[in-house]
Structure 1
């Protein structure tokens, strides 16, 4: 399969990151207490950002593994360069905000809990929180990073899945059946987890961060990729149809009839909602494919917005839990500016190292 380099994935990721930022902001700053706040939250809630990220990852990362099947070193280096350098700079930024707020002091720096937290942030356990920061903001310096841990797990297991998928005798039917089987296992895991452990329990929280809980999102993206040649006539150039279908479906079955919570809901209607959202996401990537380039000019701000918005929100929430709409807009614009600096100063320059490291 060949795919055009002109697509809207950067723009879609940007919209998804802004959705996450606005949803968290309206929730944490109590902006839902006024009518416009409720309306804004309901609007951004219609297109949940994290499932969109996971679908895109399934679609694109599988493509990356397939392209680098004989040189997995390149695959792992590319993934590490995309995730960790900017993440480490964000960690330094977060620590600076904690210092300014008075939550990091010398005795804490040498404590086991802080060193353990620091090690977790530098590895794959970004979801870890410690009591020392419970009263800063909403209680976690950067709670959004739980999805980074899930993404990294997916990056690690996908090459193992590919050992079978890339066999010469593996037909498209066999590949589809394998991915569908993994998707079903993920759904079964979710049902088991929901019925076995409360979401508030420690083991429940830990098991909810295991890749199996979210693997079906990625699998849908992989299935769309594998069958893109057959699906493209229904997807290319038809984004507004799929987006409209998703909005109507959500409004009718969730808002009016209250039959499912959201696309995370592992029920028949919830899974159908995720499938429609995934098809809408890939369709949008290949509808008016030059739009992203025209609007963004090659700048990819989505990752920066995603990793920086919670430390900034926590800093301001600690100072003033209730803010005006004007101040909220200014804070969001500031986060976008920080993301721009992250892209131009850190991410863009680091990505240029790919060819140098691998030569």
Structure 2
């Protein structure tokens, strides 16, 4: 077996030669606007809460892109003969520093704003919330925070245990692809994922009050089909036809499917989303590889702010609600404030914590089509 020589450290100046950072930032921005409109009762440009003319699949887009990118990283780790712990180290460096920074800042802010007393820091509710954040399962929302904004510090972070559990599954998928073949792995994983999606829907879907459904919803299983679609498209991309006309067709097919999906029962909305994920995945990868250079240059200058935007937008919304500032502004102006403040926090997170942490990686897929 021939092993690729390992560099002592990944190049620190490597840059993506694609638009995937910009795509993830756009997806995070769509989630931000959707949540701001919902919780602040504010419209943004043409969009109003409950309206149809918006991209509602920001999280699905994250899962699809994550499938392609992180699988490429795990596969490279195996191909180069590296231990699985180096792949897991890369995943740790990508998400944990930003999440721990968020936890530290929010803990201090909750005390400074008077929402949590110093005495409450020793209480079971706060300690349980702290433990859930530090364990990367930030889905515990104690009554301690019910007076803060929407009553939940950051409900958007339900995706973190989904992503983490997928990261832990990936070495098994890479092993299965090596043993049984890539197509067999995709078939098995997609079937298993679709089964999880249907089971989650049967238990009440994303809005379920059934404990089993809630616990299932914060694991990879109901969302695995989206990750697998990203894995399949990402791996097959060099061999797929890549034309602007096909991308336009995929966009139309996705839009038509989404219009029909919005009429489906809410419990089964994620199952319906699987049907539109394939054209969405083609569109995402086409823009990622063939999008205008301005998209790539914008994130080269700003940095990869997508994770920070996703982490910080709900705390910003909560502070605006709690302080009463949300009542003094309206619609696009109010949502723009959320965008600007969240963007500044994301910029600080990237340049102070996330980017320095990524320099500690022992291998990287940058630069290239997909990065780990």
Distance 1:87 1:263, change over 3 A: farther
Q: Which residue of the other structure, out of 237, 251, 254, is the alignment partner of 1:246?
A: 254
2:216 paired residue number: 207
Distance 1:208 1:332 in 2: 28
Q: Which residue of the other structure, out of 321, 340, 349, is the alignment partner of 1:333?
A: 340
Q: Which residue of the other structure, out of 177, 188, 194, is the alignment partner of 1:184?
A: 194
1:26 correspondence with 2:37: yes
Shift of 1:292: 3.2
1:65 correspondence with 2:74: yes
Listed one character per residue, the Cα deviations across residues 241-262 of structure 1 (whole Å, up to 9, x for unaligned) are 42243224434x246xx34669
Contact 1:58 1:221 in 2 (8 A): yes
Distance 1:113 1:219, change over 3 A: same
Unaligned runs of 5+ in 2: 1-14, 364-372
Listed one character per residue, the Cα deviations across residues 132-167 of structure 1 (whole Å, up to 9, x for unaligned) are 012211111111111011100100111122222123
Distance 1:174 1:203, change over 3 A: closer
Moved more, 78-87 or 154-163: 154-163
Contact 2:189 2:228 in 1 (8 A): yes
Contact 1:8 1:292 in 2 (8 A): yes
Listed one character per residue, the Cα deviations across residues 215-236 of structure 1 (whole Å, up to 9, x for unaligned) are 11111111213333442x1467
Shift of 1:354: 1.8
Distance 2:216 2:186 in 1: 27
2:134 paired residue number: 122
Number of matched pairs: 342
SS at match of 1:286: helix
Contact 2:201 2:270 in 1 (8 A): no
Distance 1:229 1:259 in 2: 35
1:312 correspondence with 2:324: no
Q: Which residue of the other structure, out of 186, 203, 206, is the alignment partner of 1:193?
A: 203
Q: Which residue of the other structure, out of 45, 50, 53, is the alignment partner of 1:43?
A: 53
SS at match of 1:102: coil
Contact 2:193 2:223 in 1 (8 A): no
Shift of 1:202: 3.3
2:295 paired residue number: 292
Listed one character per residue, the Cα deviations across residues 52-73 of structure 1 (whole Å, up to 9, x for unaligned) are 0000111111111100013222
Shift of 1:350: 1.3
Q: Which residue of the other structure, out of 333, 354, 359, is the alignment partner of 2:361?
A: 354
Distance 1:224 1:308 in 2: 30
TM-score, normalisation: structure 1 = 0.86
Shift of 1:275: 2.1
Contact 2:18 2:288 in 1 (8 A): yes
Distance 2:267 2:284 in 1: 16
SS at match of 1:175: helix
Distance 1:302 1:89, change over 3 A: same
Shift of 1:129: 0.9
2:166 paired residue number: 154
Listed one character per residue, the Cα deviations across residues 325-352 of structure 1 (whole Å, up to 9, x for unaligned) are 3233123211111111111111111111
Contact 1:120 1:126 in 2 (8 A): yes
Contact 1:22 1:41 in 2 (8 A): no
Contact 1:23 1:41 in 2 (8 A): no
Distance 1:77 1:235 in 2: 37
Q: Which residue of the other structure, out of 324, 327, 337, is the alignment partner of 2:330?
A: 324
Moved more, 283-292 or 132-141: 283-292
Shift of 1:237: 8.2
TM-score, normalisation: structure 2 = 0.83
Listed one character per residue, the Cα deviations across residues 294-322 of structure 1 (whole Å, up to 9, x for unaligned) are 22225111111110111111111112254
